[in-house]
Amino acid sequence: MTVALRRVAEGTVCLALLFGTAFPTVGQNPTFPQGRPAVNSQSAQPQQGSAAQGAAPSYVPQAANVQQGPAPAGAPRQGAAPAIAPPPRVPVAPFQLTPPQEEYLNQVLNYWEFKSRQVERFRCKFTRWEYDPVFGPRDPFTAKTESAGSIMYSAPDKGLFHIEKTFHYVAPANPNEQPRYEEREGEVGEHWVCDGQSVFEYNHQQKKLVQHELPPEMRGQAIANSPLPFIFGANANQIKERFWMRIITPREAQGEYWLEAYPRHQADAANYQKIEIILDETDYLPKAIQVFDPTYDARRNPKRTAFVFEQREANWNVTLQKLNLFHKEFYEPSLPSGWKKEVQRYNQGAPQGQGPAARTVSATNGSR
């Protein structure tokens, strides 16, 4: 879910990243948001505590409202085998904000954008929980997997994402025993690096390093348009164009801003039903994010993925040598011994009207 492959046209693959980038200059620095708006009657309320640092988010918010598009002429009656594919589901606004709520939301988004523009480099550790009561434990608050990893970022378009350990839920053998989480021998988690021009993805199972060249529109600032946004950047206007947003901060939460985002466009709605973000008041960076599966239902299918970001560091003071070592993480990775390299090249010469295309080049034994 971290590196998302999007097919734009026939054979076209574009990779979108988590990481934000530099943003347009705001004419006047926004003020720090003060106070809290009236709680929306449909806002999420915590059921087992907030997503505090070191703990998995455990709240269960409302499900998104989705409207089925109009049936095409000649569509078969209900129960009959369809003759054509059904129309796509069209997202609709799941709530309406009052003028004071909208004004306060704008304050939060504008200040978030202001703070994001100041981040030149960033690193953190994170814990990820994957909840899937269909293929995992039935308890919606017991994760199927728990993973530990790290993230690094250098403005405007370099990033690293690495799952270092993954523990899988093991059900108790006897009623009196407690469940446990175990690592699987030989398992390696997601690992990718972006140097601004390409994304290098480690495929340990196939012993293959895959280089995905990014098309021009996915480089620089546009790279922030990701299926999992909000991690390192906030452009208030772009966020509101892409999502229906509202503040859902519980009254008992201290030093946090909770936001809820529903996708406005079908391309995003195909990846998630909604996203919840918790901003830390001290650095105004996300301290937790929860992504809800498109099929999420609070009772029947509470499938979701939660992240908590710890040891967050931004723009730390380092010597030139250490800074170079930090940037070295984003250079093109070396090919491990015995691995193959596969290059998914972006073909700028695709015929007009067919969109860009990708072509594959392979190499072995560390050759590039």
**Higher per-residue confidence, 183 vs 348:** 183
Residue 10 has a pLDDT of 28
CB 309 within 8 A of CB 301: no
Residue 348 has a pLDDT of 56
pLDDT in tens, 308-328: 999 999 998 878 777 777 778
pLDDT in tens, 7-61: 222 232 233 334 333 333 334 567 677 665 544 434 433 333 333 333 454 433 3
pLDDT in tens, 170-193: 999 888 888 899 999 888 889 888
Mean pLDDT of 283-300: 93
> Right CATH number for 4-23+94-364 from 2.50.20.10, 3.90.280.10, 3.40.50.620, 3.90.1660.10?
2.50.20.10
Two tokens, residue 271: 């990846």
DSSP reduced 3-state for 239? helix
Q: Does pLDDT of 121 surpass 90?
A: no
Give strand pairing partners of 191. 162
pTM equals 0.73
Sketch the domain layout of the chain as residue ranges.
4-23+94-364
Q: Does pLDDT of 300 surpass 80?
A: yes
pLDDT in tens, 193-211: 888 888 889 998 899 999 9
Q: 228: pLDDT confidence band, cut at 50, 70 and 90? A: low
* CB < 8 Å & 24+ apart, contacts of 354-357: 354/9, 354/10, 355/8, 355/9, 355/10, 355/12, 356/8, 356/9, 356/12, 356/215, 357/9, 357/10, 357/11, 357/12
